[in-house]
Amino acid sequence: MPGAREHALFVRPIEAFGQLWPKVAALGRSQPIHLAVVGAGAAGLELVMAAAHALQGAGYPPGGRVTLVTGGPPAAQNYPAGVQRRVAQALRRLQITVLPDACVGMSAGEILLAGGARLACDAPLLAVGAQPPGWLAGSGLALDEAGFVAVNSFQQSTSHAHVFASGDVASRVDAPHPRSGVYAVRAGPPLLANLRSALQGQALLPYSPPGRTLNLISCGGRYAIAAWGSLHVEGHWVWHLKDRIDRGFVARYTAI
């Protein structure tokens, strides 16, 4: 996307974004700002609703605006229609403008849309999905068609037996699944076990990723939407559930 490197805030790597966000928040407290989030998957949605909730909170001057650029399809396009409706309502409640258009370029202070329009904004935030690191292309490792590390049921590179990968950077060629924290976290312990086995010359164990996962989308204001297959609910209690699960994951994996 032309201009994106110079003018946008990339949500990934999250550590870099974590350092930049306080500067955006400080700007938003000093004057009304216009934020635009590009990407309407789970990450973009959580981010745009958290940002809108923050800008409407104490300490921020009135007049701030938040826009979501979806890429063309409706927000939450990978979720069932019922979840999309809940997401659309949550976006409306927060007065987020939704543009079903694709971002095709950026320059200082504006986003260029595929339809030809230019959207003025102080801070474009890019949440367009996980991208493989550029250096993988020259690594010699077998990659999938999108450039992620192709791994087998042992989370082992299909081309280099001494290389293992899991999480967003990897693609299970035998059992494709979406890229999300839930899949990344669950693959961690099997990956560790297989790394240990490989070092000790023992047999590797296959790992089966779950067929479906509970998706919990934070909507700002300690409110969230839950989706499990075709079932979906929302409420403050969903946010508390997500908070408990996330904190539990972190505590569990910190202890390993």
Residues in contact with ligand FAD by the rule CB under 6 A: 11-15, 42-43, 46-47, 127, 133, 167-169, 179-182, 184, 216
Closest CB to ligand FAD among residues 49, 111: 49
The answer to whether the CB of 81 falls within 8 A of the CB of 223 is no
Closest CB to ligand FAD among residues 19, 200: 19
The distance of closest approach from Cβ of residue 234 to ligand FAD in the complex, given in angstroms and rounded to an integer, is: 14
Q: How far apart are CA 54 and CA 23, in angstroms?
A: 14
The distance of closest approach from Cβ of residue 138 to ligand FAD in the complex, given in angstroms and rounded to an integer, is: 13
The distance of closest approach from Cβ of residue 70 to ligand FAD in the complex, given in angstroms and rounded to an integer, is: 16
* Farthest-apart Cα atoms in the chain, separation: 63
User: Which single residue brings its beta carbon nearest to ligand FAD?
Assistant: 167
Phi-psi domain of 124 (left: phi exceeds 0; alpha: psi -120 through 50; beta: other)? beta
Closest CB to ligand FAD among residues 118, 247: 247
The angle at the Cα of 172, spanning 134 to 127, to the nearest 5 degrees, equals 50
The answer to whether the CB of 155 falls within 8 A of the CB of 165 is yes
The distance of closest approach from Cβ of residue 108 to ligand FAD in the complex, given in angstroms and rounded to an integer, is: 24
The distance of closest approach from Cβ of residue 177 to ligand FAD in the complex, given in angstroms and rounded to an integer, is: 11
Closest CB to ligand FAD among residues 204, 226: 226
Is 37 strand, coil or helix?
strand
Nearest-Å Rg of the Cα atoms of the chain is 20
